[in-house]
Amino acid sequence: MTPSSSAQRMQYLQEAQIWSRPAWIDSQLNFNSQLKILEGPLSQEFPALRADQQIECRYLPQTNTNGRTPKFHCEIDWNGRKEKVKVKYGAENGELYAEVAASRLLWALGFKADGVFPVRSVLCKQCPSQDPFRNPNGQPKDYFFQFATIERKFPGTKIEQTENQGWGWDEILRGFEPQVLSGLSGSQLQRKVQMKTHRDALRLLAVFLQHADNKPEQQRLVCEGNEVAGQCQGSTGLVIQDLGATFGGGSFGVFGNITQDSKMNSNEWGKVNVWKNAGQCQAYLSKSFVGSSALVHPTVSEEGRAFLAKLIQNFTAGSAGRERLAQLFRLSRADYRMVVINNPGLQQVTAPLMQTENDRWISIFMRKVGELNAQNLRCPVTILDLR
């Protein structure tokens, strides 16, 4: 969907929803048993995807395969119903682990992200090679991909004026400036405060995850309603569509390089604190090479901090919360990845080694939750102070 003007696109952005309360979160942000981490977001059209499945699909040539991560597009035949999906592959690539964990966490917390599903294997029919991303012109035959993920898009029609326009982290704060808020009162002001709270919470969550590759094309603006005569009739939403460089050390060096250490690496993720300056609620996310609209050391409001802190604390609370985290890291195979990284030359990945790494992931996660909820921590600026 193409907006008629930049002003219309900005209106869509300013009205876009970032967070909505799913059935497993109550009005006090407590979680219940309806949350199924291992199941993930369900499609209204197609069957569920499970981690123990072998998926068979037909290769789709000449499709968009931007970026550096090995991937291809293919079509699954669900008893006559055809679903086009993106498949990423390669056990050595940290993005396959990070995207599963980060997208599943955002979904569980009520934020908008594409669904990424690990599967046991993919049988690609009529694939050009065992590495179709780098060799797309081989003789078509059937190939197995033993380590793969399948991506399902968040439902909604993409809104953009130019290809891969996405949205920048600076853009989603426009319309919430002090001069705008100062002219509002009552329900209008309350609605704006709630929307700004959710924007700050998402910015802080991106820091929590060390979402290093956060350039505009990694996000998209969608119409969640119907397109009528080129207009979005209904709500718009802000979706993060690429979370591959998360759960790592962020960007590195003076040029802000993104490496495999930026992607699902507990050794590196554990070195990074949530706050650059806790007293000012300035979070720590170093600048990467991704451009001027990137998120860099953002300062958040008390409302945004408090909302995310309570949400994620309740997600991890008690034995049920610990099991959610354990499932998150098992599902994403983060424990397997760290056993391989920390034990070069290892002949066999054993269950005890994986359990040790899973426990370590949980420990680091909980330490960061503690930073969000540090005793006496209160951001010096609230959204209403900006008036």
pLDDT in tens, 147-206: 999 999 999 999 999 988 999 999 999 999 888 888 899 999 999 999 999 999 999 999
Is residue 350 assigned to a domain?
Answer: yes
The answer to whether the Cα torsion of 63, 64, 67, 69 is positive or negative is negative
Q: Are 69 and 129 in the same domain?
A: yes
Helix (H, G, I), strand (E, B) or coil at 206: helix
**pLDDT higher than threshold 70 for residue 65:** no
Where does a domain end: 117, 152, 187?
152
**Predicted TM-score (pTM) of this structure:** 0.95
Burial of 209 (0-12, 13-18, 19+ CB in 10 A): buried
Is residue 43 assigned to a domain?
Answer: no
pLDDT band at 238 (very low <50, low <70, confident <90, very high): very high
Q: Are 61 and 124 in the same domain?
A: yes
Residue 169 pLDDT: 95
- Check if the beta carbon of residue 3 is closer than 8 Å to that of residue 9: yes
Is residue 46 assigned to a domain?
Answer: no
Question: Which residues make beta-bridge pairs with 77?
Answer: 82
Q: To the nearest whole percent, how much of the chain has pLDDT over 90?
A: 84
**pLDDT higher than threshold 70 for residue 291:** no
Q: To the nearest whole percent, how much of the chain has pLDDT over 70?
A: 96
Q: Are 31 and 59 in the same domain?
A: no
Q: Are 164 and 268 in the same domain?
A: yes
Separation CA 312–CA 304 (nearest Å): 12
Is residue 272 assigned to a domain?
Answer: yes
- Check if the beta carbon of residue 286 is closer than 8 Å to that of residue 298: no
**pLDDT higher than threshold 80 for residue 369:** yes
Residue 189 pLDDT: 93
Residue 383 pLDDT: 86
Q: Are 20 and 108 in the same domain?
A: no
Cα distances (angstroms) measured from residue 45 to each of 79, 83, 84, 355, 368: 12, 9, 12, 36, 37
**Interval 41-60 mean pLDDT:** 95
Q: Are 59 and 13 in the same domain?
A: no
Averaged confidence pLDDT in the chain = 93
**Interval 82-105 mean pLDDT:** 96
- Check if the beta carbon of residue 167 is closer than 8 Å to that of residue 219: yes
**Interval 22-28 mean pLDDT:** 97
**pLDDT higher than threshold 90 for residue 292:** no
How many structural domains are present in the chain? Answer: 2
Q: Are 26 and 58 in the same domain?
A: no
Question: Which residues make beta-bridge pairs with 227?
Answer: 232
Helix (H, G, I), strand (E, B) or coil at 201: helix
Paired tokens of 267 = 């050794």
pLDDT band at 254 (very low <50, low <70, confident <90, very high): low
**pLDDT higher than threshold 90 for residue 210:** yes
Separation CA 198–CA 224 (nearest Å): 18
Separation CA 353–CA 355 (nearest Å): 5
Is residue 49 assigned to a domain?
Answer: no
Is residue 243 assigned to a domain?
Answer: yes
Residue 176's domain comprises 6-38+155-386
**Interval 54-79 mean pLDDT:** 88
Q: Are 107 and 232 in the same domain?
A: no
Where does a domain end: 119, 137, 152?
152
Residue 293 pLDDT: 64
